[in-house]
């Protein structure tokens, strides 16, 4: 069994819990509130900018030219998608550029983005790639599940359809292959760190959807 498949299997219960999140269940059923969906979109756009930065740093740390191209292209795609949110879904749902700019990162988004950027800057290349993998893989598999059972006349169908992109799933397979290659030559200590980084990022994926459903925001902070 490949190293990436071992990562997946070790965290399978967490993935199942992610599938069962109320946010994802209601998104598939088309019953998710507009408020929750907009909350998610704004935080997702914030997240994608930071994710793009982490991917760019990872590209610079790559041990071969193929990795530079792989992660630089992924960084570019993250920023392109973030921009398209503003021109597409946010516009359609009445979220202005001013509203987006004035909305701070939630605790979950702040935690997740800081974890990824800090890991990209400070951790060895194999550990960094392992930390980035859950966003590719879990998002793709949650999306596949939602797309397969999306309700007829789902008001979020246009968003759901973005999950069906074969290009995205091809990117997942590419990152899995990179993780497997890096794990082959890694020390036991590095492989253990890769497991930990993947697990932490997978937990933060779960927290991101949970946060959106709860309309989470900072509590008790000084204005």
**For 18-34, what is each residue's pLDDT tens digit?**
999 999 999 999 999 99
Query: Alpha-carbon distance 165 to 34, whole Å?
Result: 24
What is the overall mean pLDDT for the chain?
Answer: 93
Asked if 27 contacts 156 with a C-beta cutoff of 8 angstroms, the reply is yes
Contacts with 171 (C-beta within 8 Å, 6 or more apart), sequence order: 74, 77, 136
- Topology of 3-214 in CATH? Heme Oxygenase; Chain A (1.20.910)
Encode pLDDT of 184-197 as tens digits: 999 999 999 999 99
Cα Rg of the chain, angstroms: 17
> Which two three-digit tokens encode residue 190?
């590095």
3-state secondary structure of 165: coil
Nearest-CA neighbor of 41 among 88, 102, 111? 88
Q: Where are the domains of the chain?
A: 3-214
Does residue 100 register a pLDDT over 50? yes
Encode pLDDT of 138-167 as tens digits: 989 998 999 999 999 999 988 888 777 788
- Helices 22-29 and 188-213 cross at an angle (nearest 10°) of 60
């Amino acid at each position: 069994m490949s190293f990436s498949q071992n990562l997946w299997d070790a965290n399978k219960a967490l993935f199942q819990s992610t599938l069962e999140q109320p946010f994802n269940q209601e998104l598939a059923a088309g019953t998710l509130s507009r408020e929750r969906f907009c909350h998610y979109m704004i935080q997702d756009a914030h997240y994608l900018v930071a994710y793009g930065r982490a991917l760019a740093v990872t590209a610079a740390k790559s041990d071969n030219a193929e990795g530079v191209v792989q992660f630089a292209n992924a960084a570019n795609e993250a920023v392109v998608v973030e921009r398209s949110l503003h021109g597409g879904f946010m516009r359609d749902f009445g979220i202005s550029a001013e509203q987006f700019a004035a909305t701070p990162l939630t605790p979950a988004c702040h935690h997740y983005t800081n974890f990824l950027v800090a890991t990209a800057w400070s951790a060895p290349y194999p550990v960094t790639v392992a930390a980035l993998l859950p966003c590719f893989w879990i998002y793709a598999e949650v999306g596949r599940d939602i797309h397969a059972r999306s309700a007829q006349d789902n008001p979020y169908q246009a968003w759901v359809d973005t999950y069906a992109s074969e290009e995205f799933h091809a990117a997942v397979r590419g990152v899995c292959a990179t993780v497997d290659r890096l794990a082959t030559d890694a020390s036991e200590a590095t492989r253990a760190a890769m497991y930990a980084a993947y697990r932490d990022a997978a937990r933060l994926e779960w927290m991101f959807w949970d946060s959106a459903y709860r309309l989470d925001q900072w509590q008790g902070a000084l204005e």
